[in-house]
Amino acid sequence: MIQPLYPAEEARGLWVYLECAAGQLEGVSIELLGRARALADQLGVELTGVLVGWQVAEAARQAIAHGADVVLLAEDERLARYSTQPYTRVVAEAAVAHKPSILLLGATPDGRDVAGRLAVRLRTGLTADCTGLELEPETGLLLGQTTGFGGGVLATIKCPLHRPQMATVRPGIFPRPEPDPARAGRIEALAVTLDPADLEVEVLERVIEPQIDLTRARALVIGGRGVMGDFSLLKQLAAELGAEIAGTRVVVDEGWLGRERQIGQTGIVTRPDLAVVCGASGAMQFTVGIKEAGTIVAINTDPEAPIFEDADYCVVDDFKRVLPPLLDQLRGARPATPARG
């Protein structure tokens, strides 16, 4: 067994790796701060945010407002853009110096990138793409919940011997706490020491395509395999409801919708007020993405479809028969536009 860099008995505190864009905290970091605050209170320890970048002091203050007691801030002009080697070095050296017991990161492209490398450098384990975080009552160990084998298994994973206990969490899993601008906390500067090798890779440009933030959608209209690529009625319903269109993994794999609209364990986890699900069987890997919805309406021709176990309203029928009269009702309920004189 690989020996940890520091023993469990010396570890203390809960850390959240913070991401920001344009000087503002990313949503997933705010979500993690909310859940981490509750866990830190259970453990009776400080909650520390780790922030790496350039001219990101405002994001540090936001972290305190959202629950952090301390923000370790590494600011250096060479860290203005995310790059794997320098960011990994800064966070790894901070972890070795301060010995956190738990380190949480967002399961974003950057978060996943740095998490794997940190786990190797810190000689510890990593539970990836968690859909739940709890503490084991008897030991206080972090319990990360994640699905596997196509959603057929829900695993609870812990790391009893090595520290820090690391986990990545997908955006949208936890609700975002409201900020408290008057909340007290402190910002501590981290020394930045980089080797020339850390800077051998130069990021010339980052191209980020416009993203649809399904985690903030009030309503979703979701299609599964059963729609067979025909989203015309679903799009009409979404327009009437002011909803976003989304799909299951099969839908995305078939190319019927873009990856940014995939709901589920390997896509986006959401918590809309309303989710209308058409033609999706309802595998666990998908339903984890909508389990926090206020109301779930499921339409499926199979009366035994698993989706009906999670739905509040179940319609056993073809969505092509159900949606047209529903659309007529919604359009009939629309207030008439006053005539212009």
- Sheet containing strand 132-135, edge to edge, reads 132-135, 142-148, 153-157
Residue in 110, 96, 86 with CA at minimum distance from that of residue 29: 110
Pick the range with the lowest mean pLDDT from 35-39, 64-68, 99-103, 105-109.
105-109
Kindly calculate the radius of gyration of the chain based on its CA atoms and give it in whole angstroms: 22
Query: Could you tell me the sign of the dihedral formed by the alpha carbons of 119, 125, 129, 133, in that order?
Result: negative
More confident site: 284 or 42 = 42
- Per-residue DSSP letters for 32-77? HHHHHHHHHHHHT--EEEEEEESS-HHHHHHHHHTT-SEEEEEE-G
Rounded to the nearest angstrom, the gap between the alpha carbon of residue 277 and the centroid of all alpha carbons in its chain is 21
Q: What is the pTM of this model?
A: 0.79
More confident site: 302 or 339 = 302
pLDDT over 60 (residue 158): yes
Local confidence band at 151 (pLDDT 50, 70, 90 cut-offs): low
- Residue 130 CA to residue 265 CA, distance in Å, equals 9
Please state the rounded mean pLDDT for residues 88-106. Answer: 96
- Residue 219 CA to residue 234 CA, distance in Å, equals 12
- Side-chain-side CA neighbours of 261 within 13 Å: the count stands at 20
Please name the amino acid found at residue 54: W
What integer pLDDT is reported at residue 244 of this predicted model? 95
- Domains (range + CATH), the chain: 8-199 (3.40.50.620), 214-332 (3.40.50.1220)
Q: What are the backbone dihedrals phi and psi of residue 111, each rounded to the nearest 5 degrees, phi first? A: -65, -45
CA distances from 273 to 147, 215, 223, 232, 329 (A): 24, 11, 17, 23, 20
Local confidence band at 171 (pLDDT 50, 70, 90 cut-offs): confident
Please state the rounded mean pLDDT for residues 176-193. Answer: 93
Question: Inter-axis angle of helices 109-121 and 84-98, to 10 degrees?
Answer: 50
pLDDT over 70 (residue 148): no
pLDDT tens track for 32-84: 999 999 999 999 999 999 999 999 999 999 999 999 999 999 999 999 989 99
What integer pLDDT is reported at residue 280 of this predicted model? 95
Instruction: Give the residues across from 135 on adjacent strands.
Output: 142
Contact 125, 165 (CB under 8 A): yes
